[in-house]
Amino acid sequence: MKLLLNALLKLTAGLAIVLALIFLPAGTIKFFNGWLFICLLFVPMLILGTVLFIKSPDLLKKRISSKETEKTQKGVIAFSALFFIAGFIVAGLDFRFGWSQLPLWATVAASVILLVSYAFYAEVMRENAYLSRTVEVQEGQKVVDTGLYGIVRHPMYVVTVWLFLSIPLVLGSLWSLLCFLPYVPVIIIRICNEEKVLEAGLNGYSDYKKRVKYRLIPFIW
């Protein structure tokens, strides 16, 4: 019951914050792209959270935990929060003042990318029961090298890059996209630090790096 209440509280708080960040700058609730984004993000989130609560409550608990201890990761999270907030605010202002216009096909394509990304997000969590929002080596943790983890070492971050960069396009704002672009170098910093932690504390991770050579993009990096 405590886990359920905590999860619902986090979902409700997140929804309220995003609603405020998007619709207050927009100056109206008649912002179709804003409501489209809310549905595309929070409906799958609710469904996934429900599935995790029923089938894997321990993983749900890890996913809603946000007590990061690594100094580098604390900086990454703080910086990420800033440009996410800026991105939502700019999207609302863009709608209000008409700074940029995106064709319908771009919004549709971005919506499809967001949903597909979320589907892969769920698949990554199915494959790796050790996923948490913090960088850590858990007791009894083992290297996962099957499925998407056999292609790249950080499939979750691949998914989040596609998901987060599709958000401003769903919201119909090119200016907002500029706010979200720094997520790419930030996630690279997170990955480099995370791999140091995993190599130092997770048995077999060094061998895994030799077998799966690429972090995010096959044949590139």
Reply yes or no on whether the pLDDT at 37 is more than 90: yes
Domains in the chain and their CATH numbers? Answer: 2-211 (1.20.120.1630)
pTM of the shown model: 0.83
Average pLDDT over residues 24-36: 95
In percent, the amount of the chain with pLDDT more than 90 equals 35
Between 106 and 138, whose confidence is greater? 106
pLDDT classification of 169: cutoffs 50, 70, 90: very high
Q: What is the pLDDT of residue 176?
A: 95
Between 192 and 58, whose confidence is greater? 192
Contacts of 90 (CB under 8 A, 6+ apart): 25, 173, 175, 176, 178, 179
Between 215 and 64, whose confidence is greater? 215
- The rounded distance, in Å, linking the Cα atoms of 103 and 150 is 37
Contact 163, 95 (CB under 8 A): no
Average pLDDT over residues 2-18: 84
Q: What is the pLDDT of residue 88?
A: 96
Tell me the pLDDT tens digit for each residue of 108-135. Answer: 999 999 999 988 888 887 777 666 555 5
Average pLDDT over residues 98-109: 93
